[in-house]
Amino acid sequence: MSHQVPPGALSGVRVLDLTQVMAGAYCSMLLADMGADVIKIERPGGGDDTRRMSRGPDVEHSPAFNAMNRNKRGIAVDLKDPRGAEVVRRLARDADVLVENFRPGLLDRFGLGQEELRAANPALVYCSISGFGATGPYAGRGGYDLIAQAMSGLMSMTGEPGRPPAKVGVPICDLNAGVFGAYGVLSAYIHRLRTGEGQFVDTSLLEAGIAYTVWETAMFFSLGDVARPMGSAHRLSAPYEALPTADGFIAIGAANDRNWERLCSALGMERLLRDPRFATNPARMEYRFELAGELAATLRRRTTAEWLEVLHAAGVPSGPLYDIEQVYADPHVQARDMLVETVHPRMGTVRHIGAPVKLSGTPSTIRRPAPLLGQHSREVLAEAGMPAAEIDELLAAGVLVTTPPDDDHARPAPGAGSSPLDPTEVPA
């Protein structure tokens, strides 16, 4: 008997996805994972720039694109052609949500700005994710994760003391902007359910980065402290960092006095409990370099695995430092369904990160891989009530493109499908 998957929490919600690269695409992917019907709208002649961000052999279906666009259906429409822009307006009249991450004001040129679309569909939740937001003196600038990390203060407090500024190892502002975008969309959608009114949701990479400096900002406002790099150490607790072992590193979070006592006992270093330099957390913070040296001298005598067995038995929060390969070999990660698979029509089996939020009644699911360019153009427009003859006419003119899963040679007509914007105008 086949297993029936319950509908997702957002089943029945229609989302138009006018995004490229990461921030906006991640926002709509989160909604898709929860069951929303997300329609990815790309330009003919290339599609989302992320399709070609690959070091692998397939230059049209990169791992990056597949990662950010799972669970979506895809259409390809030339927005520079008035007929193409009208196709999107037609879809927007019946949509619940629209997500875009173009530079503010750009979609207004095509009659696809939030005011025009919401005038035709007052219930529409229109989400804009940009580098700096829709207002303010920097609104017109293009923005990328690197710039947002630099201007949010994140780079000034990341890395090792005395070393050049470092960015976080993942595009944290891109990803957080996507999370905040989804948060804003869901908040606005709940309001719509109560009132019938949609609204404009505006967030940015810069604000996503600033929002994550919550403790550092509080310390500055309260004490005037300006956060600086501390490596893996904590700003308010010690010991709380990665320390060397005989064969690598171990992360230890003895963030309070109880765990500090357990750590000293587990390591056979009870003498540290009698050392006034380490008697309280403020004292341990003041002498944290000396404390790290004491702990490292003992930890280097055994392997990470050996110490983890000891520390876990003592109830001390601790863990190994994994690279990506090691993450997915961990039995707990596997047990939590954080590695899932789909079957792509060109690439075969594709592995994905599982959903990080587990809902008991309406679970998130990874139902389909990222679409081929325009894979569902005909299907989506037919569902919207467009006659087959009109769809054929738009396809013949190159305003629409479709790539069936079994057609390796489907391409737009020569010269058709110009980009709706210069790629440098994409903010994320």
The 10s digit of each residue's pLDDT in 204-219 is 999 999 999 999 999 9
pLDDT average, residue stretch 157-181: 96
DSSP letter string, 322-337: --HHHHHH-HHHHHTT
Please give the Cα distance from 15 to 94 (Å, whole number).
Answer: 10
Higher pLDDT, residue 419 or 263: 263
CA–CA distances in Å: residue 336 to residues 2, 35, 144, 411: 22, 19, 32, 40
| Residue recorded with tokens 């360019």 | 373
Is the per-residue pLDDT at 171 higher than 60? yes
- Is residue 422 over pLDDT 70? no
In angstroms, the CA 71 to CA 142 distance is 28
Q: Is 174 an annotated catalytic residue? A: yes
Predicted confidence at residue 3, as pLDDT, reads: 54
Interval 10-38 mean pLDDT: 97
Task: Measure the CA–CA gap between 35 and 8, rounded to whole angstroms.
Answer: 4
DSSP states of 400-418: EE---TT-TT--PPTT---
**Domain topology for 249-320:** formyl-coa transferase, domain 3 (3.30.1540)
Percent of the chain with pLDDT over 70: 92
Q: Are strands 348-353 and 400-401 parallel, antiparallel or unpaired?
A: unpaired
Residue 409 pLDDT greater than 70, yes or no:
no
**Bridging pattern class, strands 249-253 and 318-320:** antiparallel
| In the predicted structure, residue 425 carries a pLDDT above the cut 50 | no
pLDDT score at 5: 64
- What confidence score (pLDDT) does residue 79 get? 96
Instruction: Return the pLDDT at 194.
Output: 98
Question: What average pLDDT does this structure show over 350-362?
Answer: 93
Check: CB of residue 89 under 8 Å from CB of residue 118. Answer: no
Residue 57: pLDDT band with limits 50, 70, 90: low
Domain 14-212+336-425, what fold?
Rossmann fold (3.40.50)
Residues in the chain, overall count: 428
Banded model confidence at residue 294, pLDDT cuts 50, 70, 90: very high
Q: pTM higher than 0.75 for the full model?
A: yes
Question: Which one from 174, 323, 406, 422 is the annotated catalytic residue?
Answer: 174
> What are 342's strand-pairing partners?
350
Residue 250 has pLDDT above 80, yes or no: yes
Q: Among 290, 256, 297, which residue's Cα sits nearest to residue 275?
A: 290
pLDDT band at 427 (very low <50, low <70, confident <90, very high): very low
Report the alpha-carbon distance of residue 98 to residue 276 in Å, rounded. 59
Q: Are strands 200-204 and 125-130 parallel, antiparallel or unpaired?
A: parallel
Mean pLDDT of the chain: 91
User: Of 57-61, 197-201, 288-292, where does mean pLDDT reach its minimum?
Assistant: 57-61
- pLDDT tens sequence across 106-157: 999 999 999 999 999 999 999 999 999 999 999 999 899 999 999 999 999 9
Q: 61 versus 31: which is more confidently predicted?
A: 31
Of residues 294 and 419, more confidently modeled: 294
Provide the residue ranges of all domains of the chain, joining segments of one domain with +: 14-212+336-425, 249-320
What residues form DSSP beta bridges with 38? 15, 72
Lowest mean pLDDT among 152-156, 161-165, 322-326: 161-165
Pair of tokens at residue 304: 């990470």
- pLDDT bin (cut points 50, 70, 90) of residue 342 is confident
